Amino acid sequence: RDQATAATTPETAKRDLAITGMTCASCVVSVESALKSVPGVTSAEVNLANERATVRLDPVHAELGALVKAVERAGYGALVIPEGDAARAAAVEDERALRLRYVASLQRRLIVAGILGAATMVLSMAPHFIAGIEHSDWRVYLLFLLATPVQLWAAAPFYRAAWNAARHGTSNMNTLIVVGTTAAYGLSVAATFFPALFVANGLEPHASLYYETSTAIIALVLAGRFIEARARAHTGDAIRALLALGAKTARVRRPGGVEEDVAIEALRVGDVVLVRPGETIATDGLVLAGASAVNESMLTGESVPVEKNAGDEVTGGTLNTTGALRIRATRVGQDTTLAQIVRLVEDAQASKAPIQRLVDQIAAVFVPVVFLIAGLAFAAWTLFGPEPRISYAITAFIAVLIIACPCALGLATPTAIMVGTGRGASRGILIKSALALEAAQRID
């Protein structure tokens, strides 16, 4: 098995990309299809919860720039995550900062949509409590003024995402939201400024106002997006907690007895590292001299320190408690035990459970089917519904589009996997993959 692995490793490589602009399971399918279309790519898996793509490719035939361009052509953004420890950590922090800015932007839009939407709802329901207000001209124009900022500004991210999808011949959750709310808002605007057209066709203009529908839908969807985005901003907390266990610098003794502090990235195999009481051991190594008790709870979960003497092995990230140690570094960087644990957790979080693959297959046809059902509902109410048929038909059309948004469909499983693997790692339980996690339900 080791020979086979060694034979195939030079031929294939694994690269991670941060993906932006995804909102639903349909987006996952689009990005995966775009990545798989790049020559030299053998497989591509996209995780909606942490917005990461894991691509296995032939480095000779597949260029990283081609991966980014393929994702951008599909209407999304992509950033290649560097492989080096320092560069990777910096990229992860930049990505998290970007997510936090996105959360702040959504929060502003949600506040505006919530306030104006609530005012629109109250004004729309006012005729039920205040006699004669229904046919007041000022009420109609005030509804328009309240609803327009919500439709044109608060919902702007939906329009941009839907347009990007449409330009590339695809559709997603944003398409459903945009079509549904635009239909309600557009009909209301027509009834506000062209009431004679409605009267000529036997329709009551005031009964064709759906401003409260469009604003309420946008506010509710923004609330869901805000909660989702805030959760995503913390999806890497488990990884950051693991990385925080490692030391940032190490005191190295050079030939001649000179001691100097160096960055952990500058450590090399064979360096002699001095570890004083209370310090975190910088890297995996072999004890050359000294005696101490080392807290290895981050590895074993056992809180009782383990005695270490000359000739014993120590692990980077564990805590030296009582005595001073002089160790020789045997593994550094990506080869350390801590780095392998971090990599294992990342791989587990990026993997897909069998049930998630079924969800992706459904998502590939979900949006077109929803549009078909909404169209059939509109036609049925128009042909066979009671008067006013058009009003009932539009209500049914919008209802089908909005309630069918597949947010939970694409987020439920990957979010559960990320939380499960992250919480397990923080308690010393390492889960190899989503497949292993799903199979664990059959353990007696």
Helices (H), 150-290: 156-167, 173-193, 195-200, 211-232, 237-244
Please give the mean pLDDT across all residues of the chain.
Answer: 82
Nearest to residue 232, comparing CAs of 438, 36, 433, 415?
415
Q: How far apart are CA 327 and CA 273, in angstroms?
A: 5
pLDDT in tens, 155-168: 998 898 888 778 77
pLDDT for 145: 95
- Decide: helix, strand or coil at residue 355: helix
18 — alpha (psi -120 to 50), left (phi > 0) or beta?
Answer: beta
pLDDT at 9: 47
- 247-341: CATH topology is 2.70.150
Query: Worst-scoring range by mean pLDDT, 15-19, 100-104, 418-422?
Result: 418-422
Question: What pLDDT, on a 0 to 100 scale, did the predictor assign at position 3?
Answer: 38
Architecture per CATH, 13-81: 2-Layer Sandwich (3.30)
Sign of CA dihedral 130, 136, 138, 140: positive
Query: Which is more confidently placed, 344 or 44?
Result: 44
Phi-psi region of 160 (alpha: psi -120 to 50; beta: other; left: phi over 0): alpha
* CA pair distance 129, 132, nearest whole angstrom: 10
C-alpha to C-alpha distance for 44 and 400, rounded to whole angstroms: 32
Strand 272-275: give its sheet, edge to edge.
Answer: 259-263, 249-253, 272-275, 325-331, 284-290, 313-314
Tell me the pLDDT tens digit for each residue of 225-243. 887 778 777 666 666 666 6
Is the preceding omega at residue 368 within 30 degrees of 0, hence cis?
no
Distance CA 317, CA 340 (A): 12
321-330 residue pLDDT tens = 989 999 999 9
Q: What is the pTM (predicted TM-score) of this model?
A: 0.68
- pLDDT for 377 equals 92
Residues in the chain: 444
pLDDT recorded at residue 23: 75
The C-alpha angle 150, 133, 396, rounded to 5 degrees, equals: 50
For residues 393 and 91, which has the higher predicted lDDT (pLDDT)?
Answer: 393
Distance CA 184, CA 111 (A): 21
Per-residue pLDDT, averaged over 90-115, amounts to: 85
- Could you read off the pLDDT of 141-198 as tens digits, one per residue? 999 999 999 999 999 988 988 887 787 777 777 888 888 889 889 989 998 998 888 7
Own/partner pairs for 201-204, CB < 8 Å, 24+ apart? Answer: 203/388, 203/390, 203/391, 204/388
pLDDT given for residue 412 in this prediction: 67
pLDDT tens digits, residue range 247-298?
A: 788 899 988 788 888 888 888 899 999 999 989 898 899 999 999 999 988 7
CA distance 121 to 126: 9
Strand partners, 52: 18, 47
